[in-house]
Amino acid sequence: MENKRQITYLEAIREAMQQMMRKDENIYLIGEDIAEYGGAFGVTAGMVDEFGKERIRNTPISEAALIGIASGSAMTGMRPIAEIMFSDFMTIAMDQIANQAAKARYMFGGKASVPMVIRTPGGGGTGAAGQHSQSLEALVAHIPGLKVVMPSCPYDAKGLLVSAINDDNPVIFIEHKLLYKNKRYVQYVPEEVYGISLGKGDIKRKGKNLTIAATSFMVQKSLEAAEEIKNEKGIDCEIIDIRTLRPLDLDIILTSLEKTGKLMCVEEAPVFGGFMGEVAAQVAEYGFDLLDSPILRVAGRNCPVPYSLVLENEMIPGVERIKEGIVDLFEKI
C-alpha cells in the first residue's frame, strides 16, 4: 500500500461527489454555505469552481426549505445531494424528511421515487455542546422509507456514498466530524468510481472470543480497544462495522456470534432508545441460541452532550470504557 495514495475521509467524500457529478448532470448539491465557503467542515471546498453555482447551490438558513426543494426536485427527475450543516438540524426539516421524502414512493405505488442523499455531520467530540454534537441516527432509522448510512473510514465513505447517490430512495448519510480530516485514519482509496452495497456490514477485525458491533467513529475506537485488550487480557475480539443501519445486515452479526457466543454493541448516542437497542432485540429474537451471555451495550450517557470537553469525554464512550465492557462480558457475567 505504500505506493498507493492515502486520502482522508473528507477527501473520499468529496471525490465521490465530484466523480458522480461529472457522470450525471442531474446530480447537484444544495445546502447552507456550500459554494464559496465550502461547507461548515470544508467538504465541498472548490467544487463551485468546477460545477458552478447552478449545481452547487447555496440556500438561506432554512433546513425545511432546502430539504423541501431537494425532495421536490428529486421527484421530478433530479438527483440532489443536500447538506445539512449539523445532523442536529435534521429536526428542523423532519416534516420534509419523515412525512414527505420517506413516504412518497410508497404512497404513489412506486410511480414516484425520491433519489436524494442527505449528507450531514454527526457526533460529538469537538466541544460544540448539546445542539451541535448529537447522534440522531436512531431517530431517522425508525422511519420506514429512509435508508441510513454511517461510514467509519475513507474507503467505505466513498463507496457507500456512490451507492447512496445511485439509489432511488432517500438516503441519510451521516458523517462523523472527528473523521473528516483525521490523518490517523487516512486510507488507500481507489481513484476509480466504485460502490459498496447498502445493507451490507463489514468485518473490520477478525476474532474468536467476542463480537463487537459498532457504528461510525465507534468502529475506530473499538478497533483500538480490541488491540489493547488482546495484549492485556488475551481476549480476541471480532469487530463488525454495521455501516448501513437501515437496511440492517443482521446476518453478519449472527454469523459472527456462531463463533464467539458473546455480543457487545457500541454506539455514541445515548443508550436509552439508541439504535443498538434494535440490534440487541433482533439478535435476541433471531439468534438467542447463539448467545452464551447477555448482550452488553456500551453507549453515550443519558444526558445532552456537555460543552465542557472533560464532561463530553465522560459522556461519549472512549477506548477505556469499551475495554471495561469487554472485561465485563468475560469476568463479571
Catalytic site positions: 132
Q: How many CB atoms lie within 10 A of CB 319?
A: 17
The DSSP symbol for 292 reads S
Q: DSSP letter string over 217-272?
A: HHHHHHHHHHHHHHHHH---EEEEE--EEETT-HHHHHHHHHHH--EEEEEEEEST
122 Cβ contact partners less than 8 Å away, ≥ 6 residues apart: 86, 87, 134, 135, 136, 137, 150, 174, 175, 176, 177, 216
Of 4, 6, 13, 16, nearest in space to 187 by CA: 6
Of 12, 3, 10, 18, nearest in space to 189 by CA: 12
Q: What amino acid occupies position 277?
A: G
